[in-house]
Amino acid sequence: LSPDCSFTCHYRCRALVRLDCSGPPGASDEDDGTEQALEKDTNVDEPSEWEKAELDQAQVEQRIKEYNSQINSNLFMSLNKDGSYTGFIKVQLKLVRPVSVPATKRVPSLQAGRPGPRTQGVKRRTSFYLPKGTVKHLHILSHTRVSEVIDALLRKFTVVDNPRKFALFERSEKDEQVYLRKLADEEQPLRLRLLAGPSEKVLSFILKENETGEVNWDAFTLPELHNFLRILQREEEEHVRQLRHRYARCRQKMQEAL
């Protein structure tokens, strides 16, 4: 391992961890790093002018016809009698941290002769990393909000983490630059899809961690918070140990010089 690299993991998983911080990253990592840098450099917070446009009923109907004529799949948009419309959006999941899913372990009953359930469910959690490039299509309504889309995605993958830990972003490319904007909870992704058209370069949706700059500690459970405290305590103890070792060596060198 590189001396500048450190990591924290479960003691049983330590033997399974393989890190090479000094080696050159793979091609896919380079692509992700380049895109990440572009996204940070060209990040925008305000929606563009076309996203603010208001459409009447006739314009919505015309836009839906144009949209359906440009796609090569059966993921069409449909206009409803009440003026709303339905359609599909594709969301790419780019999660750096693992997600938690429920794992139910069946425990056999100690008294099998008694009437009643013979097994008892024990609620547990297991965590894993979603594969890179995971994509999910959702069929939603025009008035479906961003917060509802996030909830639906978590349900699809049976993720039990708090939805506030995640955020939906819109990604667009223009003039060889990548623009990334965090969508507000009240925005309507299908409306944005209709206004932008079917092109993924013009607009695509990405689910990422909700990086707000400030940690929302209320979104974590008590076991997670206790684990964070233990990790911080270990890091503090290690930092103090390194400082004491450094000053002890300086003291030794000065005594040798004297």
What is the per-residue pLDDT for 13? 65
d(CA 234, CA 226): 13
What is the per-residue pLDDT for 41? 44
Is residue 24 included in any domain, yes or no? no
Is residue 108 included in any domain, yes or no? no
Q: What CATH number does the domain containing 156 carry?
A: 3.10.20.90
E-only strand ranges, 74-156: 78-79, 85-93, 99-108, 119-128, 134-141
What is the per-residue pLDDT for 70? 93
Q: What residues have CB less than 8 Å from 2, skipping those under 6 apart?
A: 21, 22
Instruction: Say yes or no: 67 and 189 in one domain.
Output: yes
Instruction: Say yes or no: 60 and 138 in one domain.
Output: yes
Q: What residues have CB less than 8 Å from 235, skipping those under 6 apart?
A: none
Instruction: Say yes or no: 145 and 78 in one domain.
Output: yes
* pLDDT beneath 70: ranges in the chain: 1-52, 104-123, 212-215
Instruction: Say yes or no: 132 and 249 in one domain.
Output: no
Q: What residues have CB less than 8 Å from 55, skipping those under 6 apart?
A: 63, 195
Is residue 241 included in any domain, yes or no? yes
Q: Which residues form the domain of 173? A: 40-99+124-214
Cβ atoms 135, 93 nearer than 8 A: yes
Instruction: Say yes or no: 53 and 84 in one domain.
Output: yes
Instruction: Say yes or no: 140 and 49 in one domain.
Output: yes
Instruction: Say yes or no: 63 and 191 in one domain.
Output: yes
Is residue 197 included in any domain, yes or no? yes
Question: Tens digits of per-residue pLDDT, 192-228?
Answer: 999 999 999 999 999 999 876 666 778 788 888 888 8
What is the per-residue pLDDT for 25? 45
Instruction: Say yes or no: 133 and 165 in one domain.
Output: yes
Predicted structure pTM score: 0.61
Number of domains in the chain: 2
What is the per-residue pLDDT for 198? 93
